[in-house]
Structure 1
Amino acid sequence: MIPTFKRMMSSKPTIPKQFKSLVYSSHSVEDPTSVLTLQRYTPKEDLTKSIVLRSLAFPINPSDINQLQGVYPSLPEKTLDYSTKAPSAIAGNEGVFEVVSIPEGETDLVQGDWVIPLEANQGTWSDYRVFANSSDLIKVNDLDLYTAATISVNGCTAYQLVKNYVNWDVQSLGNEWLVQNAGTSGVSKMVSQIAKANGIKTLSVIRDRDDFDEVASTLEKKYGATKVISETQNNDKQFNKEELPKILGSHARVRLALNSVGGKSSSAIARKLENDALMLTYGGMSKQPVTLPTSLHIFKGLTSKGFWITKNVKERPQDKIDAVQNITEMYKDGTFLSPRDEIEKLQWDVRRASDNDILELVKAGIRGKGKKKVVALQW
């Protein structure tokens, strides 16, 4: 059964004198696991005057690994607060926590609330964390464990990509589209659901594969993509001239392209856009540059921009709060699916796991392939 919100029963939870966190003081591109250690430390904050959280689950995201490598554009400040010889930072940018203690006079939170940090670089790979202000946290009581643990990055990215850049007009002709590559990715699946719930049609491009029909059917029937095509079709001039208009239908407006692949795929989805449209790039899985024909800029007025959720949250924190609230409503009414089927759970047994067990568990998650790895703490 998927874990869901439930209030703690104890009115006086016991908070340990020492916390455990996975920290790093240096970086390694070759082996990011080599810089991680499991550190025990006494929190420096006055816990009676702070919001004390215990971790419920945290994902291992590519950006987390990039931070360990030292190649990510945003890195947390390293300090000596964690009883380390060299200044260190707690790893992890995303996760869901449970409120175990609040200071006197705190009115926005109560014991047992589920919360996520508002900003990145807060250090989530830990058993306990301490925050000074409730304004630095967002409540997620109405979500299941895996949706709450991953909503901060993938969920908010998908929501803002769809909602923040185009003034959609779905009322007049009702045939407005977005096109996206990497259609099987976690963000793309969320984009399809959010778009469908808002009357926007989605053309999703996925790589060629032996089980294409099966994968395409799942994306359309389960996740709400309007139509799924292959990269071969995406790049085929004859397909785009003869078949694509039949798929889009009359009076179709392809107003937004979402690119997380780069290379030829990015230019092919950009070519499908109407005049004066927008392409947002939020990833580059092919590790190839975004290539755009000059004609798209000159004759079709294409705008190409980048999207980075970390920067957006810093500049416009309310956008993230709004995204979480809206996705929560979608989740409650059944139009947004939990990502539980896309996740491999790694269990941290708080009572029984040794420090080395915890460290090796997370290292295995970093090295692992396939589904997104989420570490769930068993209390």
Structure 2
Amino acid sequence: MISRPFMRLMSTKVPKQFKSIVYSTHSVEDVGSVLSVQNYTPKEDLSKAIVLRTLAFPINPSDINQLQGVYPSKPEKTLDYSTEQPSAIAGNEGVFEVVSVPKSESSLSEGDWVIPVHANQGTWSNYRVFSKASDLIKVNGLDLHSAATVSVNGCTAYQLVNNYIDWDPSKNEWLIQNAGTSGVSKIVTQIAKAKGVKTLSVIRDREGFESVARTLEEKYGATRVISESDNSDKAFGKEQMPKILGPNARVRLALNSVGGKSSACIARKLDQDALMLTYGGMSKQPVTLPTSLHIFKGLTSKGFWITENVKKNPSEKVANVRDFIKLYEEGKIISPKDEITTVEWDVNNTSDDELLQLIREAVSATGQKRMVRLKW
């Protein structure tokens, strides 16, 4: 078992004012322009509430889509933050430390690390308030990067692998996925490996392909990595795929987060009566599947959205996180810290203007995922 990186921080007094990054309007062209920093007095009676201070929050594509106004799930805008117009706190994901908890809430202690059960709670803030412990999940045992991102990437990967196929680890069973270098895909390969399920990850053609493929296989547990060129090559599929998969192989599940040609090509590699789950569309191209796969192979194609799944069954997310922590503690899932660029919000010394600039730069940045770590 690996050592536990979770550690309780020094206790802190609950402040009279909170600071949050809020928005009241939307913009597709300039997402950062709708953000502002707001200082306000919380409306809740803090002596009777669970008060959390933020340790870190990632900036996810869904957060940006909400700021653009194009995401299907949106937080309610209110006047609770002393704004002129109804506003919402940005962000859907983050990890927090409990700094104050009523005596009636025996399931939480000061110093516990927690994440919200539901989305749309607003996480880009120095402090947040919750009224019920049942709306929070303890994540003691994870490091900062894993805890801050388990709600979206971790739970998505866990459900994709575990919720749809009754795997038989004694047989040669596979899943195939595109966007093999994505955060979700890397966790999928690790969870699948822990279950005895083999993974075929497809990644885009690039310079240094062999090095990237080797990292995915050796560090993240992918069984085999192929390129999109290989994925779309009919000759490769006919001649090389049987050698890669081995005897009596069944490719039972395809995980699609790209769409377009890539999705059709991974679907073609599925076995009889298999399933394809679409949980993203990076190419912004529609999912178009051959008619023959439905008629002659009995293909089922479904969509997957973690936000809706949690809304329907929040207790499942609690169980997912507990299982994820166990896998992490057993060394079967590694921290995503190498895949994330961290920027720092010095809570005591960063001015509001500096904070707003920091957030705007993080929102507009390309490349690695951004995470804001609060320095207390």
With the length of structure 1 as denominator, give the TM-score of the two structures. 0.97
Partner of 1:19: 18
Decide whether the 8 Å contact of 1:203 with 1:228 is kept in 2. yes
Decide whether the 8 Å contact of 1:179 with 1:269 is kept in 2. yes
Q: Distance in 1 between matches of 2:103 and 2:158?
A: 36
The one-character-per-residue Cα deviations of 1:161-215 (angstroms, maximum 9, x if unpaired) are 00001111112x2x10000000000000000000000000000000001100000
Q: Which of structure 1's runs of 4+ aligned residues deviate more than 6 A?
A: none
Q: Distance in 2 between matches of 1:75 and 1:17?
A: 28
Letter in 2 for 1:263: G
Q: Structure 1 residue 39 and structure 2 residue 38: aligned? A: yes
The one-character-per-residue Cα deviations of 1:256-314 (angstroms, maximum 9, x if unpaired) are 00000000000000000011110000000000000100000111110000000100000
Aligned length: 374
Q: Secondary structure at the match of 2:240?
A: helix
Q: Distance in 1 between matches of 2:234 and 2:285?
A: 21
Decide whether the 8 Å contact of 1:29 with 1:69 is kept in 2. yes
Q: Distance in 2 between matches of 1:57 and 1:111?
A: 17
Q: Distance in 2 between matches of 1:226 and 1:6?
A: 34
Partner of 1:371: 368
Q: Distance in 1 between matches of 2:193 and 2:5?
A: 25
Q: Distance in 1 between matches of 2:105 and 2:230?
A: 57
Structure 1 segment 158-169 matched on structure 2, within 5 A: 158-169=157-168
Partner of 2:183: 186
Structure 1 segment 79-158 matched on structure 2, within 5 A: 79-158=78-157
Q: Structure 1 residue 273 and structure 2 residue 274: aligned? A: no
Structure 1 segment 158-307 matched on structure 2, within 5 A: 158-171=157-170, 173=171, 175-307=172-304
Q: Distance in 1 between matches of 2:89 and 2:146?
A: 23
The one-character-per-residue Cα deviations of 1:10-30 (angstroms, maximum 9, x if unpaired) are 4xx311111000000010010
The one-character-per-residue Cα deviations of 1:75-134 (angstroms, maximum 9, x if unpaired) are 000000000000000000000000000012210000000000000000000000000000
Letter in 1 for 2:174: W
Q: Distance in 1 between matches of 2:256 and 2:10?
A: 46
Decide whether the 8 Å contact of 2:20 with 2:39 is kept in 1. yes
Partner of 2:74: 75
Decide whether the 8 Å contact of 1:3 with 1:145 is kept in 2. no
Structure 1 unpaired stretches of 5+: none
Q: Distance in 1 between matches of 2:60 and 2:314?
A: 21
1:7 positional shift? 2.2
The one-character-per-residue Cα deviations of 1:216-268 (angstroms, maximum 9, x if unpaired) are 00000000000000000000000000100000000101000000000000000
Decide whether the 8 Å contact of 1:117 with 1:137 is kept in 2. yes
Decide whether the 8 Å contact of 2:4 with 2:142 is kept in 1. no
Q: Distance in 2 between matches of 1:185 and 1:229?
A: 15
Partner of 2:334: 337
Decide whether the 8 Å contact of 1:345 with 1:376 is kept in 2. yes
Letter in 2 for 1:347: E
Q: Distance in 2 between matches of 1:21 and 1:4?
A: 28
Q: Distance in 2 between matches of 1:233 and 1:18?
A: 56
- Amino-acid identity (%): 70
The one-character-per-residue Cα deviations of 1:318-360 (angstroms, maximum 9, x if unpaired) are 2211111111011101110100000100100001000111111
Structure 2 unpaired stretches of 5+: none
1:9 positional shift? 4.0
Q: Secondary structure at the match of 2:27?
A: coil
Partner of 1:6: 7
Letter in 1 for 2:259: G
Decide whether the 8 Å contact of 2:112 with 2:140 is kept in 1. yes
Decide whether the 8 Å contact of 1:159 with 1:191 is kept in 2. yes
Q: Secondary structure at the match of 2:150?
A: helix
Partner of 1:321: 318
Letter in 1 for 2:276: M
Which moved further from structure 2: 316-325 or 67-76?
316-325
Decide whether the 8 Å contact of 1:233 with 1:240 is kept in 2. yes
Q: Distance in 2 between matches of 1:266 and 1:15?
A: 50
Decide whether the 8 Å contact of 2:49 with 2:129 is kept in 1. yes
Letter in 2 for 1:340: K
The one-character-per-residue Cα deviations of 1:24-52 (angstroms, maximum 9, x if unpaired) are 00100101100000000100000010000
